[in-house]
Structure formats: C-alpha cells, structure tokens
Amino acid sequence: MLKITVSCFSVWCVALSLGTVPWPVQAQSLAQSTPQITEETPNGEPTPNPDELRPLAQSDSLLSLEGGEKLMQEASEAINTEKYDVAAAKLNQARRVFNQLSNYHLKLATIFSGIDRTVVEAQRSNALKSGQLRDQATYQLALVHRAQNKPELAVPLLIQVIESQNPTSEMGQKCYQQLYELGFVNAPLNGEKPAASSSAPAPSAKK
C-alpha cells in the first residue's frame, strides 16, 4: 500500500512539473491580470461624443443643410467671378439637396403624427428650413439664368418660388418683379409699376 501511495504521489509530482495539472490559483491570477475595459482611449483621452461621429451631421455631407449651404456658398463665389455656368450647376445641386431634405422631413412628420409630438414639430421645423433654403437657391438660379440671357429658364423657376413662398411674401414679390421686368407679365403688382431691379444675381446666395 505504501508503494502504491508513493508511486501515485510521484506521478502527480511529475505531471505537476510538466504543467499538465493546473494550480488552483491559475484562474484567479488570469482574472487579475486581465486588463479592465474603460471608456478612455489608450492615450487616456475621453471617448468622442457619439453625436460628432454622425456622418450626416458633418459639413462635408451633401444630404444636410450644411452640405446644401456649402454648395450655395460655392455658387456665390462663382457668381463673383462671373462663372455663371459653374454657379448654375452648384445652385441646381443645392436645390435638389434642399428639396429632398424638405420632402424627407415632411414624410417623417406625417409618419410620427399622433405618436410623438416632439418629433413631429422638429421634423416640420426642419422641413420649413429646408424649403426656405431651396427657394432661395431657386431664386438665385433664376437670376443667374437672367444674367446668362436665358429668360426662358428663369421664368419657371420664379413661378415655382412664388407658388411656394406666397405672392405677398418678400421673396414672392421679388420674383414677380423679375417676371415683370422680363416681360412675362404685363400687370404690375398691386397696380403699381415696381421699381426696376438689377438683372445680375446677388453676390450672396442667401439674399
């Protein structure tokens, strides 16, 4: 019996020395040596704000107010150097972006109607902003076409803005005045001949 016990003990020692029998403390040591996951970067810097990582919130995104405004600014710079073809292309792009944004926000407002009032109001506000910028870009594009001596392209754009903005609004009246100066309409607004305006597009795309 003693020989068997000694033999078993010898076998266990050999196995232990070869690493085939684990020490009871190995699992605990492994847990203690595992690095803890924190909310800091390896350099000790805080994790970036998730809102800053949203792709459509960046200024280089086309499907955003910032992206459309950037196109309008580029168009304004082209107008200042009388590169009207470039300005027209940029303004057309801006119009499409703002029109898409307005339609998408209106759809979301309709979808959430009766479900979440906060979402509905926010989407309607975004749709209104997008629509206003779309009409400004459209008006500027009409002025560019007039500067290019292409009144046939300016007329439908001016009418679109009047329909969207309301004829009595400031922008609506400006568009009607352009139609009058182009000779598309004969009756002056409110029965009074409007003051002549410059046919050159304004330097700023937001005016």
46 Cβ neighbours under 8 A, 6+ residues apart: 39, 40
Cite the beta strand spans of the chain per DSSP E: none
Share of the chain above pLDDT 70, in %: 63
> What is the reported pLDDT for 198?
54
Domain ranges of the chain: 60-191
Task: Note the pLDDT tens digit of each residue in 144-168.
Answer: 999 999 999 999 999 999 999 989 9
Share of the chain above pLDDT 90, in %: 58
> What is the reported pLDDT for 199?
56
Taking the CA of residue 88 as centre, how many other CA atoms within 13 Å lie in the half-sphere pointing to its CB?
15
pLDDT > 80? residue 53 = no
Min mean pLDDT across 28-37, 82-91, 170-179 is at: 28-37
The count of other CB atoms within 10 Å of the CB of residue 196 is 9
> What is the reported pLDDT for 68?
94
Q: What type of residue sits at position 129?
A: K
